Amino acid sequence: MALQPIVDAETGLPFAYEALVRGLEGQGAGEILGRVTEQTRYAFDQRCRVKAIEVAAAAGILETGAKLSINFLPNAVYSPKACIQLTLKTAAATSFPTDRLLFEFTENERMAEPEHVANIVRTYQAMGFGTALDDFGAGHAGLALLARFQPDIIKLDMELIRGIDASLPRRIIVQGIVRMCRDLGITLVAEGIETEAEFDALRALGIRYIQGFLIGRPAFETLAPIVFPVPAARLVATA
């Protein structure tokens, strides 16, 4: 697992760290996920949850106050309550508060039964976990998913973010999503930020939580350092 920070741009502190699956020789998530079959999906999903919690706890995330965001495969969950038991056992063994766990799924994964996904989200929320919809704006369902259920967090797809400082259409679209999330009570995270201009444009649109190479790259089995200056430092630098 590699851990990448999601930063609160108002404080400069980590809001969460996302656990990203990696190969033993540094292979990316795409290559690893490409090896997962229908027969191994459940075991892979379970092992990733365990590994993410163990690695984050060993890396010292509990001392930071940040949450841990774990990617999961909705199609690997046959029963939300049954499939969460190993996660609960691992959290107890590592003294990891369950209210600091986020479960993140991507809109890019085609969902045969959206109502099944909605049931997972509702069950996790009732158990005190956070939920996040990743890659919003790039997947198969988009707004139709939000009509069925509301996750706690939406993560904007990086294609909407790339060059947003120089793109009026992107800014208008993101501005609309900001208003929608505010009205629905959903926290919005912008991911894939690579330049200061993108950061400043997103902050001007009211987005508080930021993730991307500008902030910090994923670090293998350790908490990646936050490399972008905290807001106070930026104010001094630009004054």
Q: Minimal CA–CA distance to 102: which of 191, 196, 6?
A: 6
Residue 107: per-residue pLDDT:
59
Q: Where are the beta strands (DSSP E) in 85-227?
A: 101-106, 130-136, 153-156, 187-190, 209-210, 219-220
pLDDT in tens, 122-143: 999 999 999 999 888 765 557 8
- CA 148, CA 143: separation in Å to the nearest integer? 9
Q: Do 10 and 208 contact (CB within 8 A), yes or no?
A: yes
Low-confidence ranges of the chain (pLDDT < 70): 107-112, 138-141, 229-239
- CA 133, CA 140: separation in Å to the nearest integer? 12
Residue 34: per-residue pLDDT:
86
Q: 2-145+211-234 in CATH: which number?
A: 3.20.20.450
Looking up tokens 């999503």 gives 177
- CA 137, CA 18: separation in Å to the nearest integer? 19
78 phi-psi bin (left φ>0, alpha ψ -120 to 50, beta other): alpha
Residue 109: per-residue pLDDT:
57
Q: Where are the beta strands (DSSP E) in 31-77?
A: 67-71
Residue 238: per-residue pLDDT:
43
